[in-house]
Amino acid sequence: MNMLELIKQGLFSSIGLASLTQEKVAEIVAEVGKHIPLSEQQAREFAKEMNERSEQAKNTFGAKFDQQVDHAMIQMGLVKNEIRKAAESAGDTFNRAVEEQVRTALENMGVASADEVESLKQRVAILEAKLEKLN
């Protein structure tokens, strides 16, 4: 199993998938692309798959959430909108935690950061310029 598949499994197995927006998916694909070489086609397919799974998770999660909220409203007399706001806040916190987990996993695997790659590009450019002067 390649690194992209491992990252996909980790992302797709989290409940945070239900709260991903297309913008967030694009950010995740870009971040993964910084650490794993992806062709344009692979990046598009990865984004498409994440969007589709996110939509499925939203539908499933939404139906279950509405059922639980309705039950809670009956049991506790709470206003449904207040529960939604609390759940959205918890979802944001969860998303930040997932992002940090992915970042830490990439670091633990020894995947170079974008800054490290940029630094190496600059060093190579300098060496190439010096080599050109010698020729």
* pLDDT tens-place string over residues 16-45: 555 566 677 777 777 777 877 777 888 788
Q: What is the DSSP letter of 27?
A: H
Q: Check residue 80 and give its pLDDT.
A: 59
CA dihedral 72, 91, 50, 3 (to 10 degrees): -130
The structure tokens listed for 7 are 């990252």
Q: How far is CA 21 from the centre of its chain?
A: 10
Its domain, for residue 95, covers 3-134
Instruction: Quickly count: other Cβ atoms within 10 Å of residue 47's Cβ.
Output: 17
As a whole number of angstroms, the distance between CA 7 and CA 1 comes to: 10
Q: Check residue 15 and give its pLDDT.
A: 45
Looking at the 3D structure of the chain, how many domains does it have?
1
**Statement: residue 122 has pLDDT above 90:** yes
pTM over 0.85? The answer is no
